[in-house]
């Protein structure tokens, strides 16, 4: 599965990639992917001792990011679309990728205007806000590390990516790109099967690694 998120980043021209893994899986990823030389990129590895929320990636990776813009993709998110041009077009602020879904109440959803600027983000809304779910692909400018440093844990004890998005939203700097093709968050057995079928039918020939 890890090849597909890596493929998304490499096709966008990203050459330096940090892989954040749990201690018990670090050796598996290192053995599988190595230095990244065979893919034309440089891979670096960091350990996340225990889950602390997505924004922790920016804290763990502060030295790696080194005051540059950064793209974050979740290891279990698979996209049918080629999103490389959307990533390359990023200038400043924040950018999120949204997919229209039939059950928005299960997701964090985003409402945006005709200029593709986010106007509201709500996590698992009880009332209808939007049909567009936030996917596991994000682009932020260099300020994101300092934003992450100032976050407070939510009620579940973790830092929340939506709080970073809302920081940029409040400044009018959060752009939304729409995902047209299939998007799969392969975190369940059913979605993993869908991802396998999608890979077999449509994605294998699109891999650059």
Per-residue model confidence (pLDDT) at position 118: 98
Per-residue model confidence (pLDDT) at position 195: 61
Mean pLDDT by 10 residues, the chain (209 residues): 89 96 94 95 96 96 97 91 94 97 92 97 92 97 98 94 97 97 75 65 62
Per-residue model confidence (pLDDT) at position 1: 78
| CA–CA separation, 50 and 53 (whole Å) | 9
Per-residue model confidence (pLDDT) at position 78: 85
Q: Which is nearest to 124 in space by CA: 95, 149, 156, 146? A: 156
Tally of helices (H runs) and strands (E runs) in the chain = 8, 10
CATH number of 3-206: 3.90.550.10
Per-residue model confidence (pLDDT) at position 92: 97
pTM of the model: 0.90
Per-residue model confidence (pLDDT) at position 152: 96
Cite the DSSP H helix spans in the chain. 3-11, 26-33, 56-60, 62-65, 84-88, 144-149, 161-170, 189-198
Task: Enumerate the domain spans of the chain.
Answer: 3-206
| CA–CA separation, 71 and 74 (whole Å) | 10
Per-residue model confidence (pLDDT) at position 199: 64
């Amino acid at each position: 599965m890890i090849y597909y998120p890596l493929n998304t980043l490499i096709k966008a021209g990203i050459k330096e990639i940090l892989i954040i893994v749990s201690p018990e899986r670090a050796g598996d990823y290192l053995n599988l992917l190595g230095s990244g030389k065979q893919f034309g990129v440089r891979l670096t590895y960091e350990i996340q001792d225990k889950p602390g929320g997505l924004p922790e990636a920016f804290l763990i990776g502060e030295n790696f990011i080194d005051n540059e813009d950064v793209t974050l993709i979740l290891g279990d998110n698979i996209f049918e679309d080629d999103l490389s041009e959307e990533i390359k077009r990023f200038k400043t602020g924040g950018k999120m990728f949204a997919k229209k879904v039939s059950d928005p109440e299960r997701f964090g959803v985003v409402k945006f205007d005709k200029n593709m600027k986010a106007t509201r983000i709500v996590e698992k809304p009880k009332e209808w806000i939007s049909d567009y779910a936030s996917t596991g692909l994000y682009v932020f400018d260099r300020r994101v590390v300092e934003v992450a440093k100032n976050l407070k844990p939510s009620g579940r004890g973790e830092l929340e990516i939506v709080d970073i998005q809302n920081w940029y939203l409040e400044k009018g700097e959060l752009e939304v790109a729409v995902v047209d093709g299939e998007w799969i968050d392969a975190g369940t057995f059913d979605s993993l099967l869908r991802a396998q079928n999608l890979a077999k039918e449509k994605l294998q020939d699109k891999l650059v690694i």
